[in-house]
Structure 1
Amino acid sequence: MRTTRFDDLTREELARLAPGATVVVPIGSIEQHGPHLPVCADTEIITHVARSAVELAAETASVLVTPTLPFGLAQHHLPFGGTISFSSKVYLDLLTEIGTSLVNDGFQRILFLNGHGGNVSAAAMVADRLAYEYRLDAHIAAASYWECGADSLAKLDLDGAPAPGHAGSFETSCLLALRPELVHTDRIPPAEGELQPLAEQSAFTSTVRLPEVWQRSDGRTDDSHSASTELGHIALKMIIADVAEFIVRFHRT
């Protein structure tokens, strides 16, 4: 079966595929995830979701996936340590250069698939920048996996915790399913009975920034008491199906 991995192909193979293919660019982050999760959590999740969804979408469409960009906009995590972040200007320029390179390669459908909350506005701005400022002759999209899978995520039993949230029940479940050896279950914070202040900020439908909310929340939205390996497998399977459906719809535009 033909590979869906951009980086496994030669320049000639990519040139032949480019005009009729959608290329998915996964974007993640390296940042603190509380006392119990590895700093690669966002990158691990989006890499798995992107590769699996592209394989599923490739059954009905010509789709490729690039290597994941592991670093993103994570300035708000820097006070905790364990974080590597671009500044907003550098990150916008970086995503723009990736997009222009792919159009240079002949691709006319590009999807930035995001796995980190701090990247949301930047990815959307880059899509606008490429389409309206650079006027590239290509279809450009930016989407986060939780946007594609919003209906599915709403069905998960997380005892009121947000999905995806940050370093809480959802992400802990996903890492238990993907990389259990990296989850320090003995360091999971004890059940606290209520969400962290950070979850209150994320509950708004508009963009709200509260002073020191990350520090007051210990860099997490909830305490992971609902996390399980089974929940992680269920959540990932649903999200992958939703993202694959989105990719195919975008490809057919």
Structure 2
Amino acid sequence: MNFKSIPSEFEYLSWPEVKNISKDIRSTIIWPFGAVEQHGPHLPLGTDSIFVDEIICEVFKLIPSDTPIKKLPTQYIGFSPEHKGFDGTISLSSNLITLLIKEVGIQLADMGFKRLILINAHGGQISLLNTAARELRSVAPKLSIFPCFLWKGVDGLSELLTKDEIENGLHASLAETSLMMALKSKLVGDERPCEGIKMQIPKGWSLEGNAPTAWFTEDLSKSGVIGNSKGSNKELGNSLKSLLVNHWFKLIMNLMKSDWPNQYK
């Protein structure tokens, strides 16, 4: 079968096409994860989901069509208890998210797929997806699982963003607002809050760092923003988009060109 004739979206394939692709020793599925949660008064609830979906779709435009890799529908609703104090936030339990990943992952493994990339854009569920990946591997040992965070390990971010933004822009701040302006500007409101970055944290402790605390957004902010969204602009957003797309394209192609794990040689 000619892979060039079939789409990148898993749900658009026929079952014989899935069967043919899954036989490849490098067959891979990407499953994007986001969230439906408050992102301040100026960004949509689905910000994280929109980001990961848009970036991965752009990545697939660069991937050669005969590459045995497909994309599952983006999981929009995630684990967001830290934002429950704000209307619009919908959060699934950690147990349900873990069960979802395990059930889908087991079925993909049974089909014959060799690798599953969980590409997540919501910072509040990084640890959860890492744990779920381990649990899935324990029941589907022949499936390699890669729990990844969209913003992690991306070279060049420090050249586009200030140190303050990188350290304190935790939610709906400069980077996220700018990226949404580049991707879907009509969804961005006019307000530009700056909040939640002057907390007196005990020395040596942090919100997200070496010694973090399990914070809730309402502990830090009335607007839902943690950081400074002032100065957000479409030009920065386009630069962030290019950086993210190029990073994940290179990373995914490095994997697709490899025989990892060696047991599948």
TM-score (normalizing by structure 1): 0.88
Picking from 232, 236, 248, the partner of 2:253 is 248
Q: Find out whether 1:145 has 2:147 as its counterpart.
A: no
Picking from 12, 15, 22, the partner of 1:18 is 22
Aligned-pair CA distance for 1:170: 0.6
Structure 2 Cα separation of the partners of residues 248 and 87 of structure 1: 33
Assess if the C-alpha contact under 8 Å between 2:220 and 2:226 holds in 1: no
**1:211-253 CA distance string (max 9 Å, x none):** 5554322332212113111111110111111111221223322
Give the SS at the match of 1:140: strand
Q: Which residue of 1 aligns with 2:158?
A: 154
Q: Which residue of 1 aligns with 2:263?
A: none
Q: Which residue of 1 aligns with 2:240?
A: 235
Structure 1 Cα separation of the partners of residues 103 and 200 of structure 2: 33
Aligned-pair CA distance for 1:140: 1.1
Give the SS at the match of 1:155: helix
Picking from 47, 53, 73, the partner of 1:67 is 73
Identity across the alignment (%): 26
Picking from 111, 115, 131, the partner of 1:109 is 115
Structure 2 Cα separation of the partners of residues 159 and 123 of structure 1: 27
Q: Find out whether 1:127 has 2:129 as its counterpart.
A: no
Picking from 30, 35, 38, the partner of 2:44 is 38
Change in Cα spacing, 1:203 to 1:136, as seen in structure 2 (3 Å) is closer
Matches within 5 A, 1:150-189: 151-158=155-162, 160-162=164-166, 165-185=170-190, 187-189=191-193
Change in Cα spacing, 1:224 to 1:93, as seen in structure 2 (3 Å) is same
Structure 2 Cα separation of the partners of residues 94 and 145 of structure 1: 20
Change in Cα spacing, 1:43 to 1:211, as seen in structure 2 (3 Å) is closer
Unaligned runs of 5+ in 2: 261-265
**1:37-57 CA distance string (max 9 Å, x none):** 110100100101122223323
Structure 2 Cα separation of the partners of residues 60 and 152 of structure 1: 30
Structure 1 Cα separation of the partners of residues 129 and 214 of structure 2: 22
* Aligned residue identity for 1:4: S
Higher radius of gyration, 1 or 2: 2
Assess if the C-alpha contact under 8 Å between 2:59 and 2:246 holds in 1: yes
**1:133-192 CA distance string (max 9 Å, x none):** 21431211110111142x22222134621277311111101110111111112x222x57
- Tell me the C-alpha RMSD between the 2 structures: 2.4
Matches within 5 A, 1:217-228: 217-218=221-222, 219-228=224-233
Change in Cα spacing, 1:13 to 1:60, as seen in structure 2 (3 Å) is closer
* Aligned residue identity for 2:234: T
Change in Cα spacing, 1:121 to 1:238, as seen in structure 2 (3 Å) is same
Which structure: greater helix fraction? 1
Q: Which residue of 2 aligns with 1:98?
A: 104
Structure 2 Cα separation of the partners of residues 78 and 172 of structure 1: 21
Picking from 10, 15, 19, the partner of 1:6 is 10
Change in Cα spacing, 1:134 to 1:203, as seen in structure 2 (3 Å) is closer
TM-score (normalizing by structure 2): 0.84
Change in Cα spacing, 1:137 to 1:84, as seen in structure 2 (3 Å) is same
